[in-house]
Amino acid sequence: METPITRLEAIIPTLVTREDLAHLEGRMNCAIQKVETTLH
């Protein structure tokens, strides 16, 4: 059975460019750091 995650992973490369990915990664890192500072 296919999970939503694997379906997303199959679709994502066709939707985003490397620049979009880098931008998204930066935003995710910021969000993760905010969560970590909130938890600690």
Q: Please check whether residue 16 is in contact with residue 24, taking contact to mean a CB–CB distance below 8 angstroms.
A: yes
> Distance between CA 6 and CA 12 in Å, rounded?
10
Tell me, yes or no, if the pTM score tops 0.75: no
Torsions phi, psi for 16 (to 5 deg): -110, 150
**Taking the domains of the chain in order of start, what are their residue ranges?**
4-39
Angle made by CA atoms 15, 16, 22, in degrees to the nearest 5: 165
Looking at residue 26, its pLDDT comes to 92
* pLDDT cut 90: percent of the chain above it: 35
